[in-house]
Amino acid sequence: MPQVRNPILPGFNPDPSILRVGDDYYIATSTFEWYPGVQIHHSKDLANWELVTRPLTRKSQLDMRGDPDSCGIWAPCLTHDGDKFWLVYTDVKRKDGSFKDTHNYIVSAPAIEGPWSDPVYTNSSGFDPSLFHDPDTGKKWFVNMLWDHRRRPLLFAGIALQEWDPSSGKLIGPRKNIYQGTELALVEGPHLYKRNGWYYLLTAEGGTGYDHAVTFARSRDIWGPYETHPDKHILSSKDHPHAALQRAGHGDIVDTPDGKTYLVHLAGRPTTQRRRCVLGRETAIQECFWKDDWLFVKDGPVPSLYVDLPGARDEERYWQTQKYSFNSNDGLHKDFQWLRTPEAERIFNLQDNKLNLIGRESIGSWFEQALVARRQEHFSYDAETVIDFSPTDEREFAGLTAYYCRYNFFYLIVSAHSDGQRELLIMASEASWPVGNLNLPLSNPESVVIPNEGKVRLKVTVRGKELQFWYALEGDGELQKIGPVFDASIVSDECGGHQAHGSFTGAFVGMAASDLNGTARVASFDHFIYTPVKHSSDRYDI
């Protein structure tokens, strides 16, 4: 079989849940505050994946306005019971402090493309829910981690099991804490399986940082007791700081038609000596084998960078330049997402082959900001656009941004001074948690006065840890540098809000607009181009 280099889903694609239906494989991943909710990729060979749908597309399914950064959709679980697809997910409204407000829902669909149902509410006792269809009894079982704000004795209190009745849409019968994990603690991300008369429970432990791990346990009875794997953690990089794939954990398993078992899991590829994961938590895959009714990762527990898969990856596709036009008949390209709101018409539209962003709240707002962006999937890249925007003062601004959250972004804007004179300005929020202040003052000496009429070409180049902005005025083909070289590694999990086990997304690049005067001034963008760049510093790029 061909060897494929991990990750199989590069860029922000964490918490993978994998499923096979016939010859088709599907992976669902978390999207957090990005809308629409949940990404589902499809593959025929485990090596080449195509984004096919984001099922949570309307207000009745998901409204994340007010959700803080790295809240929203956590750890979806995608299953099939022989009749239809089932998707379980958490909408997190609060994550910091002693309490977590975590509401769990189930939607279903006859086909992966939909139509997906309105959600059925299940519970709010914890997060990372999963639905297990018992092949022998026909019952459906709901598991999620339990949160205990008292820490009596554990904050991550264990894995709760309860039967779920699809006819009534309710949890029924007793609820039991069936597994509390190992001494690594922070048990979460449960998935149940059945094989050879055993019930298997796969969980994540150690938090989603550098101590992350996949733990495995089994029982003859679904209610337990569950015996922990003799190796405890079947996958982890925690004791191997030089492994290419770090932060390895939160996994799910799938069998191929010929009986091989694979584990998908999240992982990070840190850059610079500060070990920052700009691309966020990505989806990787490992070959596994069974011995004495226990699952083992081939060459584990450390994740392998190269894995034998049924298919060979199309490497050329990974390095292709993506040129996006904004044709209203085609709709917004599936690579793009926006933040939190189900009412997309309030923040953007496609007209006359342009993307029109309707200026709303400030960049970083947890309610309604006009920001449309795509994932950064390469350590080095170029991105550019052309903007047509006529601001009246400093409270109206729009442009090109490399964005993680309100606490870490770089933003080249077209704005105006208080006298109405247009200018280019760079806003930078560099690891500014918890205050969220800009690093550069509004009297930024790097600002450039530009004519009040005419389009402006904006570009950002990222080469490893170095980020540089560029611009060109309409009619002037030559790009000019603007501003200093910034530290591109700032746009990473490790520099977000609540950095320790608290930032869960990844870097995006895209277009944004704000109107703090409240007049909804529109900024128009002609196109967007994303070009991957091979660079000598990117030793772990695919």
Tell me which residues are annotated as active site.
15, 188
Given a contact cutoff of 8 angstroms between Cβ atoms, the answer to whether 196 and 293 are in contact is yes
73 CB-near residues (< 8 Å, 6+ apart): 30, 31, 32, 37, 38, 56, 62, 64, 89, 90, 91, 92
251 phi, psi to nearest 5 deg: -120, -175
Residue 234 identity (one-letter amino acid): I
- What is the SS3 assignment for 259-310? CCEEEEEEEECCECCCCECCCCCEEEEEEEEEECCEEEECCCCCCCCEEECC
264 phi, psi to nearest 5 deg: -100, 150
**Distance (Å, whole) CA 74 – CA 102:** 9
**Distance (Å, whole) CA 422 – CA 172:** 62
Instruction: Looking at 369-521, list the stretches that DSSP marks H as alpha helix, in order from N- to C-terminal side.
Output: none
The end-to-end CA distance of the chain, in Å, is 18
Quick count: other Cβ atoms within 10 Å of Cβ 443?
Answer: 7
Given a contact cutoff of 8 angstroms between Cβ atoms, the answer to whether 537 and 272 are in contact is no
**Distance (Å, whole) CA 102 – CA 98:** 13
Strands (E), 122-165: 130-133, 140-147, 156-165
